[in-house]
């Protein structure tokens, strides 16, 4: 994911089903790790977009 961010991607999600964790990558910020989130927001990159993770967990 770091390579994607280094090449201009503004928002990246790395979803790990086994550990039920999501790593959120943003330009210029530390990686945020969430435990079993129900949804993920597209933030300012995809305004209004919400990914529902209930089916994934």
Q: What is the pLDDT of residues 10-52, one digit of tens each?
A: 999 999 999 999 999 999 999 999 999 999 999 999 999 999 9
Give residue 28's Cα distance to chain centre: 15
How many structural domains is the chain composed of? Answer: 1
| Residue 22 maps to a domain | yes
Q: What is the pLDDT of residue 44?
A: 96
- The answer to whether 15 and 29 have CB atoms below 8 angstroms apart is no
Structure tokens at 29: 């910020």
| Residue 39 maps to a domain | yes
Q: What is the pLDDT of residue 22?
A: 98
Range of the domain at 37: 2-52
Q: What is the pLDDT of residue 36?
A: 97
d(CA 29, CA 31): 6
| Residue 57 maps to a domain | no
Q: What is the pLDDT of residue 30?
A: 95
- The answer to whether 13 and 24 have CB atoms below 8 angstroms apart is yes
Q: What is the pLDDT of residue 49?
A: 98
Q: What is the pLDDT of residue 41?
A: 97
């Amino acid at each position: 994911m770091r390579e994607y961010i280094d090449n201009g991607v503004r928002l990246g999600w790395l979803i790990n089903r086994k550990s039920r964790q999501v790593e959120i990558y943003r330009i210029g910020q530390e990686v945020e790790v969430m435990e079993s989130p129900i949804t993920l927001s597209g933030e300012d990159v995809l305004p209004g977009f919400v990914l529902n993770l209930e089916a994934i967990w």
